[in-house]
Amino acid sequence: MRITLFDYGAGNLHSLAKALRGEGRNVRLETDARAAVDTDVLVLPGVGAFEPAARALEGGRDAMRDAIAAGLPCLGICLGMQLMFDASDEGDGAGLGVFGGRVTRLRTPRIPQIGWNTIDDANDPLFGRARLETAYYANSFVCRPLDESVVTAWSTHEGDRFPAAVRAGTVVGVQFHPEKSSAPGLAFVHEYLNLISNP
């Protein structure tokens, strides 16, 4: 399995690449959005700001969006999940528009949210198989989908309920960091990759 981490100049790439590796899995970094889609699985990493990440998509945004729409499996983590949406209040630039909606600041007195939080109302089997019930977050912004039927799990921070995960087939976005969420988080990543290997 060829796994490509799209490197937009930020992100926690080392620990994420380590989490993705396994028997029969080749992980590479790619800075060109068009070249990044020549893969079996595309991963959009977390950490960073929306505007520079959106800028890194320029010139290859349509190619990446079209590849995902045509069935390329994609896992978006934190900022990577936010890039799957149309736009963000955090900065200028267009997202991929895989999911309709906008990214907004958490509606809480204190930001960022840093630390562990509970996963609620998870209806994706990936969570159950991984036994992922709490996850590690580091975010000030969250996704607000136009169609909440794409939401597969929720979390709440100081009264603001937001999507912990969204999914459309083999396209999965998570607001938390599975690579920092202990053994269940790593199990979640592996369950996702197993899903791709054995559809």
What residues act catalytically?
78, 177, 179
CA distance 84 to 171: 9
Closest to 165 in 3D by CA, of 75, 94, 71:
75
DSSP track, 119-143: -BS--SHHHHHHT--EEEEEESEEE
Dihedral over alpha carbons 61, 64, 65, 68 (to 10 degrees): -170
